[in-house]
Amino acid sequence: MYLLQKLSQENGPLCVGLDTDPSYLPPEVLSCYDSPALATLAYNEAIISNLKNYACCCKVQIAYYEAMGLDGMRTYSKTLKAVRAKGLPVIADIKRGDIADTAKAYARAHFSGDFEADIITVNPYMGFDTLEPFTDWCKKGKGIFALLRTSNPGMKDLEALELKDGGIVLDRVGAELKRLAEQFGASEDEASPIGAVVGCTEESNARELRDAYPNIFFLIPGYGAQGGQASIAATLLQKASGTVNSSRGILCSWKKDASLEEKRAKGALTLDDIVESAITACNSAKQDLLGAMRG
Amino acid sequence: MYLLQKLSQENGPLCVGLDTDPSYLPPEVLSCYDSPALATLAYNEAIISNLKNYACCCKVQIAYYEAMGLDGMRTYSKTLKAVRAKGLPVIADIKRGDIADTAKAYARAHFSGDFEADIITVNPYMGFDTLEPFTDWCKKGKGIFALLRTSNPGMKDLEALELKDGGIVLDRVGAELKRLAEQFGASEDEASPIGAVVGCTEESNARELRDAYPNIFFLIPGYGAQGGQASIAATLLQKASGTVNSSRGILCSWKKDASLEEKRAKGALTLDDIVESAITACNSAKQDLLGAMRG
C-alpha cells in the first residue's frame, strides 16, 4: 500500500481496471487467438506493457476470468504476473469474505502462489473476525481494501441502514478499519495496508467520507463508464489519498475512437489499434483526474 | 433446489462438505500423488463414489481449491463434475457478491462451464440488486443460498446490529429472500430456488428463524466439528427443511478413528483407510441427525 500511495503521487491516481470480458474485444481480434481467454491475455499484456507512467496500479476483476473457466484462471494468473513484473502493484478485485480456516485459505490463495496479488478487496459482511486472516498478511507487506461504501444503487439496502444506536451500517465497518489502520500506524502521509473501497458517487458524500477517514487510502470505483465525475474523485483523493479505477472507459474506448471509425466499419481492427486506443484513454483519464485535483 | 429438498427427505439431510485442505490428508497418502491437488481429487472422488444414500448433496468450499492455484481449480472443477455425475446436487460455497456486469460474470462462471454447480452461496452485503443476476439463473433450474445468519462470533458486528426502524440487519436480508421465494411460488412442501444459509448455533435462535421463514430451504453450517448440535439442526430442519453441512467432522475422521490407531502410529494409512473412515462418519452423522429429527 505504501508503494501504491507513492506511485499515486508520482504517476497520477489512475487504476487501470483489467476487467476484461472477451466481449470487449472486436470479433476480428478475438478470431486471431485459439480461445477468448488467450485473446484476453494478449490484450491485457499489451496494455500493461504500454502503460508507462499513466497509472499507479492495475485492478483485475476475477469474476470475468472465472467466467472463462480454467483457461480464464490461467489468463488471470498471467495477467497478475505481468502487472507485477512491470513494477506496478496489482489489486485483485475478489471481494472474498468467509470465516476462520476458510478465510485463511482465501488469504493464502490470493497473497501467494499462482494467484498472488499485492492487495485484495474483501467483503466484511460476516463480521470483523473474517478480516483477521487477511490483516495477518498485511504484516508481511500485503494490503486490503475492505468494502466501505459501494457505488451501486443497492448500497441503500444494507450498507446505508440507520442504526438504533446512531449512524448507519457502513459506519461500523469504517470504525473497524480506522482501528486496524491505527494499529498499523496509519497517517495522512503514510497510509497503512488497510484501505477502503469508496465509490465515486456524490460530492457531499465524498467530502464526508474523506473527512471521516483521513488516514485511509481509498480505492475509488465508479469513475468514467459508471458515471462518476473527476471532481468527486478529486475530493476523495485528498489526505491519505487513493486510486481511481476505470475499466470499461479504457477497455472499450476503441468503440468510440473517431480515428478508428473506418477500420471499425470494415471489421479490420487489430490488437495494436485497440491497445493504442486504450492507452490514449488512460492518458486522458489521468489528465482529467489531475486537472480536477488541481481544482 | 427441488431435487435437493426431495433427496433431503429420502437420504437424510446430511450435506458432505468437501472443503478438502490437503493438510487433512496423512503425509503417507499425500506422497502417493504428484501434487496435493491430485491427492485431494483422489480423496474427493473416492468419498463421492462411496457416498451411497448417506447424503443428499455435497458442498464444495472453493477457497481451499483457490489456495492450491491452477492445479487446485482443476481439482475443483473435477470434484463438482464427480458429484453431479453421481446424481447429487452440488453446492458451490463461493459466497460471491458484486454488482451489475460483474455479478453476471460470476453467475455465468458458477452456473455454467468448467465450474458449473447446481446451487451457489451468495453474499448479499452490497445490496439486493446484486442478487438479480443469480436469480435470473434460478429461472433456469439453478439455486442460491444467500447468507442470512452465519455461525461465526463476528456475526454480531454487522448482521445482528439493531436498526432504528426495528429489527436487525439480517431481518432485511430475510425479508428480501422471502419476497424472492414468493415470486418463485415457494411453500413448505415445495421450496423455491431461493435458499438461506442459517448457522446451527442456538436453539432459541433456530426456532425463531425457522418460524420466520417457513417456506425457505436452509443450508445449515456449524454442525459437528464447529460445535453445533443435532438437536438444534433438527429445529432448523422443519417446515421447508434444509441440509446440514459437515466438513472436517467427516474429512478428518481418520484422525480419531480407533480402528486405525495402529496404522496411524506406523504412518501406514492408505487412501482406502481414510475414505472408509469418512464414509463411516457420514453414516454416523446421518443417523445422529435423523435421530434428533425423530425427537
Q: Read off the pLDDT of residues B54-67 as tens digits, 9 standing for 90 and up.
A: 999 999 999 999 99
Low-confidence ranges of chain A (pLDDT < 50): none
At B268, is the pLDDT very low, low, confident or very high (cuts 50, 70, 90)?
very high
Classify burial at A272, counting beta carbons within 10 Å of its beta carbon; exposed 0-12, middle 13-18, buried 19 or more: exposed
Q: A75 contacts in B (CB within 8 Å)? A: none
- Tell me which residue of B194, B178, B206 sits closest to B136, measured CA to CA: B194
Of A64, A70, A108, Cβ closest to residue B105: A64
Look up the ipTM and state it: 0.98
**Chain B stretch 141-160, residues whose beta carbon is closer than 8 A to a beta carbon of chain A:** 147, 150-159
Contact B223, B244 (CB under 8 A): yes
Q: Whole-angstrom Cα distance, residue A223 to residue A206?
A: 13
Q: Is the pLDDT of residue B255 over 90?
A: yes
Q: B76 in contact with A at a CB cutoff of 8 Å?
A: no
DSSP reduced 3-state for A25: coil
Q: Does residue A14 contact residue A230 with C-beta atoms inside 8 Å?
A: no
Q: What are the tens digits of pLDDT across the range B157-172?
A: 999 999 999 999 999 9
Q: CA dihedral in degrees (B250, B252, B254, B255; nearest 10)?
A: -140
d(CA B65, CA B63): 5
Collapsed DSSP state (helix, strand, coil) of residue A95 = strand
Between residues 54 and 73 of chain B, which touch chain A (CB distance below 8 Å)? 61, 63-64, 66-70, 72-73
Band of pLDDT at residue B146, cut at 50, 70 and 90: very high
**What span, in angstroms and rounded, lies between the C-alpha atoms of B204 and A77?**
46
B95 belongs to the catalytic site: yes
Angstrom distance (rounded) from CA B180 to CA B178: 5
- Residue B224 pLDDT greater than 90, yes or no: no
CA A200 to chain centre: 12
Please list, in sequence order, all residues whose beta carbon lies within 8 angstroms of the beta carbon of residue B222, skipping any fewer than 6 positions away: B151, B199, B200, B201, B228
Rounded to the nearest angstrom, the minimum Cα separation between B101 and chain A is 9
Residues in A touching B128 (Cβ below 8 Å) = 154, 157
Of A67, A105, A154, the CB nearest to B63: A105
Contacting B residues, span 187-246, partner chain A, CB-CB under 8 Å: none
**What does the radius of gyration of chain B's CA atoms come to, in whole angstroms?**
19
Residues B96-106: b if buried by 16+ CB within 10 A, e if exposed: bbbbbbbbbbb
**Residue among B110, B129, B152 minimizing CB distance to A127:** B152
Mean pLDDT, rounded, for B178-206: 95
Residue B175 contacts A, CB cutoff 8 Å: no
Query: Would the pTM count as exceeding 0.90?
Result: yes
Widest pairwise Cα distance in chain B: 62
**Burial class of residue A258, CB neighbours in 10 A (0-12, 13-18, 19+):** exposed
Strands B119-122 and B143-149: parallel
